[in-house]
A and B are shown apart, each in its own frame.
Chain A
Amino acid sequence: MTFFRVENLAIHFGGVKAVDGVTFEIARGEVFTIIGPNGAGKTTIFNLISRIYDSTEGTITFRDQDITRAAPHRIAGLGIARTFQNIELFETATVLQNLLIGRHAHSRSNVFSEALFLPSVRRAEFAHREKVEEVIDFLNLAHYRDQMIMNLPYGVRKVVELARALCTEPELLLLDEPSSGLNVEETQDVSFWIEDIKKDLGITVLMVEHDMGLVNEVSDRVLVLNYGRVLAEGSPQDVQRDPEVIRAYLGG
């Protein structure tokens, strides 16, 4: 079974080939990292996977299912959750409400039963809340549960966004620069959490990251992109010895 595979993926904006024939495969249970200089097409690949963009060419396969043209709102229900590079939380809602929206893909009620708040809706709300509390425990967010997002510091927002993604009960988690804007200590926390997400929750992680320390610590395999093309792929150590990668991204 193919867990997740991207084949010959490409997207062109006019003459700009943001992603140009990228192929990679992720096995269940690994942490796979994409690195590369700014504008290499890392976030674009994320946007292609979460179906915000339509690809020009290529296929995306998730659990033997072709999701290249799946509707964007179905991605979460299929088991792929993501975070954003520039935090996209619901500012005027509390942490709890944000996390409950993470449960949306699992809600089955319709407007009419909700307007009457039938017992089935109440039971479902209760079940969602229990799941959300598990995630709150997992990421130590209990202290912030009832606070509005706009009153929270940046570091906490990052964690809330991770929590919201976990609330969708994903099998594949896309993290777009989980450590950007965080201090050393918070970055260390992120690295522990990624380990836990992999080991305790059994979730496969695909991430984009610039902090090579974090990349080395958590990644099983690394893909290097440059100008929308694959430059190298392999273990973190191998990739960092590659002369092409050093020239294009790491510097020597």
Chain B
Amino acid sequence: MRFIFKTDYHQDIRLAPHSGHVFWYGLLLALVIAAPFALDEYYVGQLTQVGIMAIAGVGLMVLTGYTGLVSLGHAAFFGVGAYAEAVLLGLGVPFFVTMPAAAVSAAAVGIIVGIPALRLAGIYLAIATFAFALIVEEIMGRWESVTNGYTGLLVPSIDIGDFSLSSGLPFYFLTMAILVLVILLVLNLLRAPTGRAMVAIRDSEISAQSMGVNLAVVKTTAFAVSAGITGLAGALFAHKLGFLSPESFTILQSIELLVLVIVGGIGSLHGAVFGAIFVLALPQALAIMKDHLPPAIGEQPGFEPLIFGLILIFFILFEPFGIYGRWLKVKLYFQLFPLYKKATFKRQKSYMKSERLR
């Protein structure tokens, strides 16, 4: 067990409260840097994909996990970012301008959605964002002069001389660098007044307001930040795909992102990363599983969505705080070893259940 003695207010402000954090996250960073040299190309590609989904997950986490606004339309921001990147690169704009521009354009769209969404909450907001995503998908399909419609749009690669930044190893490092950057920016936001105001809105709008939180401004900010980060992930995703068509940004993608944050662990940035790993590893695991199942089950159409859905339901029922919640419990088990009591989280669980009946 670690006992932390606090002698300074700065200790509570710091990003890494004690040396253990520095050590473990440093080790993780070292692993992330070393990984591509030990793995073959296929797995580097998969890890890049995990990075992209994690960035998008962090984006949705800001809105759904921290501000408590459910969005079923994040594929739209993802798509806006991807198309902005492809179109701007096509016009010959350099990549260090196009990526921020992709984030900014997605953020701008986020503000446009955010303003009418101010009056909506819960399921109504989910439906509104869902409708919005359908509209954006339609625009991507019909605005042929820019997006090339359903014929598709080729994404130019980022070349610096002979060196391509948009594939292989360099792209992996670009993605991971952006992921780290985004996580740091969001962590900063969360320890500052705006982040606290977001959490306050999630827990009780009425008292947030009487503490001086401007609901309209903070909610719109949350939408903009969330959409901007997701747009940035979209820009990276454009390079991953190499070829854009509106079919890449459907409602299924939005749902996948929502599954990502819920299974990963709502209300934590760890959850966004865990969720991204889950969302990408599960189809792989299912593909391997299929070979060992009788064809009558394994070859059924809709086998994969069924497992996805089941896992989502089981998580909501039995582990509402997702993989990260489970992670914390396992960690506590080892911290308290051998004193861990089975009932440590019992009370909390029954509390959660009665809450859900409201």
Residues of A at the B interface (CB closer than 8 Å) are 50, 52, 71-77, 81-82, 84, 88-93, 96-97, 100-107, 109, 111, 114-117, 121-122, 125-126, 129-130, 133, 150, 164, 168
Contact = CB atoms under 8 A, between A and B. Distances in A.
Contacts of A93: 196, 199-200, 203
Given A89-B204, A109-B192, A114-B189, A101 B213 contact: yes
Given A115-B188, A117-B191, 4 more contacts: A90-B208, A101-B200, A114-B195, A168-B212
Contacts, number: 110
7 contacts: A76-B210, A89-B203, A101-B196, A104-B193, A109-B192, A114-B193, A122-B13
A-side binding surface: helix, strand, loop or mixed? helix
B148 interface: no
A115 B185 contact: yes
A93 B197 CA distance: 12
A218 to B, nearest CB: 23
B59 to A, nearest CB: 13
Contacts of A105: 211-212
B265 interface: no
A128 B202 CA distance: 22
B206 interface: yes
Contacts of A81: 210-211
B215 to A, nearest CB: 7
B12 A104 contact: no
B248 interface: no
B210 A97 contact: no
B211 A76 contact: yes
Nearest to B187: A117
B9 A129 contact: yes
Interface string B1-31: 0000000011011000000000000000000
Contacts of A71: 214
A91 B207 CA distance: 12
Nearest to B188: A117
Interface in B125-172: none
B209 interface: yes
A90 B204 contact: yes
Contacts of B194: 109, 111, 114
Contact of A116 (B188, B193, B225): B188
A107 B185 CA distance: 19
Contacts of A101: 196-197, 200, 208, 211, 213
B10 A77 contact: no
Contact of A73 (B9, B10, B186, B213): B213
Given A81-B210, A88-B207, A104-B211, A117 B9 contact: no
Contacts of B195: 114
B197 A104 contact: yes
A164 B208 CA distance: 11
A133 B193 CA distance: 17
Interface string B264-279: 0001000000000000
B188 A126 contact: no
Contacts of A77: 212
B253 interface: no
